[in-house]
Amino acid sequence: MYRSLFKFVKNKIPRISPTELIALRSGNTSLDRQILQGQINFPRKIEYTQKFPEESLNELFEKFDNSTIYPNDNDNKWIKYLAENKYFSFLIAEKYGGIKLSVNELSDVLTKISSVDPSLGVATMVPNSLGPGELLTLYGTEEQKDNFLPKLANGEMIPCFGLTGPDNGSDATGSIDKGTVIKVDGKLKIKVKVNKRYITLAPVANLMGIAFELEDPDNLIGKSGVTLALVERGHEGLIQDTHHNPLNAGFPNGTIKGEFILDIDQVIGGEENIGNGWKMLMECLSAGRGISLPATANAGCKVGTFGIFNYMKVRKQFKIPLSNMEAIQQKFNNIIYNTWIVQSSVSLTNDILDNGNSPAVLSAIMKQQTTERGRMALNEAMDIHAGASICLGYSNFLEKFYRGTPIGITVEGSNTLTRSLIIFGQGLNKSHPYIYPILDSVLNENMDKFKKNFNGIVSHSLGLYFKTFGFGKDLEKQIVDFAALTNFVALKGGLLKKEQMLSGDMADIFSNLYLALSVRYYHMNNNASELLTNYVVKRLMNESQLKINKVIDNLGPERFLLQHLKKTVKDIKYEEERNLFNEVMNNENIINEVKKNIYIKNNILEDLEKVNTLDKDDPKFKILKDRIINVGEFEN
């Protein structure tokens, strides 16, 4: 019987490319697996002792003059400031002169810098996520580490990493630049031709990590495949002469081009790591996806919430403050809803990562959800701030974040692809307790492993299915329902790659469950507001239930076995919306949590906070109010 089952499964599994297989084998699992097992254990809460001094951050913020980071006519002074003051060293070990931060601290620092200026945040984030620093630390030869890491830590070298080009965007290795192993004067060398675009920091970098497909037609090395190498500015044949302008956001982004010769020891990790490039990149991707982009989204959400919280109380129309209007209250509830989710999920994910895990699927969820929810929060904030957020000037605290949102959504795995292909598609293989082991047993023709895991999946699926008929607390019950539904959807096998609407909806449910858990986790640790916690969890669960219903309706005959999982969703009532708004206005714990890790000093946010503490007759009130209400005026 197992033989025919083995054959059946073999025909059912999709064709998996070597790059997909590497992605599947990279990183590990955490709450994503527990969700699919229907049982949750939260990680250990991490409290850290600050390594990077608060005074250094404050000094940067006090000095920062809001000038554009790039392009500029100030000789790249902010990039130089960051580099020289160790802001680019947060992944580098102390023994090389770095200030290696815990994930929690790195995330807090990035959030705070981004709250002042998102471009300053991007410039800090890039050297501290996927790039030469991390790649050298993990895979560099001792010589490479000794040579480059101290220079990266002290800011002498500014890194960037170039993977994508005109023909390789989402399909990063599809039509990637090529390199060839050649022999010059009896020595092995690599000849490469690169045409990279969209590379952050490239216009100011002097140490470029580049990825290319190495070919060895004359079998000189006997190795080939995606390879990562380092090349320094000024290398003969390397061209760094153009930059892009991503929505006037003001951070350096540009091209790396040219045809040049590399020594073998310019390959990161030396000859041994030729052909391992994709694996190395996949293993490192969790920082950018799981830490940096969520931290920037968190900053945008927090600034938007804090600013609007104060603005709507001071801005009046029709003789009443905006905050007294229900239409505004509803929009503000949407802002706090998404902000609370982003803040909570950042906190949970940081703790998971600081506990030593690198969960690939959770990182993808974080990347997609926080950037997407950041966009939703900012859209609502822009509507409330209205003309004041459209016109540039001192009082506009939103526009920088608004312009930055599509960038976070596009980079490091564009959200459309991440949602509809990666989160559930990869999650199914990676996070499910039995699917990958079965896949692996089929790929390796290992019948014993197949039998063991096949029996495992059968009892796991039946157990979960019967559990769906039982009772349970709301979120815990929805987790079990989703885990059981997953086992039915998994029967689609390789078809799921094409059925991206289904995969996208399953990704949303999977993500929402993780986010709802994070909101509970945040409440356990910070105890800010039970009412807000319950509201957010209920709304997330409502969104998920609608999707569960939709997925079941779109399945084949198996949907008849799942009818009991479909439920009528009782939407949030107007009264609940009113209660939530009052809670946020009156329970100071909430706004105090939002305020954490954003910089509120000598800026419009400080004015906004202060104005609401002053008596209307205080002369300072009018001064501040005018500053808040007026928008930038420029000479014609």
Ligand X SMILES: Cc1cc2nc3c(=O)[nH]c(=O)nc-3n(C[C@H](O)[C@H](O)[C@H](O)COP(=O)(O)OP(=O)(O)OC[C@H]3O[C@@H](n4cnc5c(N)ncnc54)[C@H](O)[C@@H]3O)c2cc1C
- Hey, which residues are catalytic here? 412
For ligand X, the closer CB: 495 or 623: 495
233: which residues sit within 8 A by CB, 6+ positions away?
Answer: 205, 206, 207, 208, 240
Site membership for ligand X, residue 19 (CB under 6 A): no
If binding is defined by CB under 6 A, does position 253 make contact with ligand X?
yes
| Paired tokens of 161 | 């990493």
Which residue, 494 or 632, has its beta carbon nearer to ligand X? 494
- Decide: is 135 part of the binding site for ligand X (CB under 6 A): no
Q: How far is the CB of 500 from ligand X (least distance, A)?
A: 6
Task: Decide if 511 contacts 476 (C-beta within 8 A).
Answer: no
CB of 70 to ligand X, least distance (A): 12
Judged by CB under 6 A, the stretch of 297-305, 412-420, 521-529, 581-589 that binds ligand X is 412-420
Q: Interface with ligand X includes 169 (CB under 6 A)? A: yes
Does residue number 405 form part of the binding site for ligand X (CB under 6 A)? no
* 163 near ligand X (CB under 6 A): yes
Nearer to ligand X, 125 or 398 (CB): 125
Q: Which of 417, 561, 569, 585 binds ligand X (CB under 6 A)?
A: 417
Among 141, 416, 446, 534, binds ligand X (CB under 6 A): 416
Sequence-distant contacts of 576-584: CB under 8 A, at least 24 apart? 576/535, 577/329, 577/330, 577/333, 578/326, 578/329, 579/531, 580/333, 580/336, 580/531, 580/532, 580/535, 581/329, 581/332, 581/333, 583/529, 583/531, 583/532, 584/309, 584/332, 584/333, 584/336, 584/529, 584/532
Interface positions, 290-329, toward ligand X (CB under 6 A) = none
568's CB contacts (< 8 A; 6+ apart) are: none
Which is closer to ligand X, CB of 284 or CB of 604?
A: 284
Q: What is the dihedral of CA 375, 379, 381, 382, to 10 degrees?
A: 130
Radius of gyration from C-alpha coordinates of the chain? 26
Could you say which of 106, 192, 268, 407 contacts ligand X (CB under 6 A)? 407
248 versus 613: smaller Cβ distance to ligand X? 248
Q: Is 349 in the site for ligand X (CB under 6 A)?
A: no
- DSSP symbols for 42-82: PPPP------S-HHHHHHHHHH-----SSS-SSTTHHHHHH
459 lines the binding site for ligand X (CB under 6 A): no
How many chain residues touch ligand X (CB under 6 A)? 21
Closest CA to 301 of 339, 251, 334: 339
| Contact pattern from residue 419 through residue 448 relative to ligand X, giving x for each residue in contact according to CB under 6 A and a dash for the rest | -xx---------------------------
CA dist 625 → 306, 474, 518, 619 (Å): 16, 45, 37, 10
Q: Tell me 28's DSSP state.
A: B
Main-chain phi, psi angles of 225, to 5 degrees: 115, -175
Distance CA(67)–CA(496), nearest Å, equals 48
DSSP characters over 498-513: T-HHHHHHHHHHHHHH
Q: Give me the 194-223 binding string for ligand X, x by CB under 6 A, dash otherwise.
A: ----xxx-----------------------
In this structure, what DSSP letter does residue 266 have? G
Tell me which long-range contacts 457-463 makes (C-beta under 8 A, separation of at least 24). Answer: 457/487, 460/37, 460/433, 460/434, 460/487, 461/487
- Toward ligand X, which CB reaches closer, 30 or 164? 164
96-125 residues near ligand X, rule: CB under 6 A: none
When the beta carbons of 28 and 416 are compared against ligand X, the nearer one is 416
Q: Output the smallest distance, CB 542 to ligand X, in A.
A: 27
Instruction: Write the interaction track for ligand X spanning residues 491-530; mark x where CB under 6 A is met and - where it is not.
Output: ---------x------------------------------
Q: Does 248 bind ligand X (CB under 6 A)?
A: no
Does residue number 164 form part of the binding site for ligand X (CB under 6 A)?
yes
Q: Which is nearer to ligand X, 351 or 399 (CB)?
A: 399
Structure letter (DSSP) for residue 248: T
Which residue lies nearest ligand X, judged by its C-beta?
169
Rounded to whole angstroms, the maximal C-alpha distance in the chain is 87
Q: Verify binding: residue 411, ligand X, rule CB under 6 A.
A: yes
Least Cβ distance, residue 204 to ligand X (angstroms): 12
Please give the residue ranges that form the binding site for ligand X (CB under 6 A).
161-164, 169-170, 198-200, 246, 253, 407, 410-412, 414, 416-417, 420-421, 500
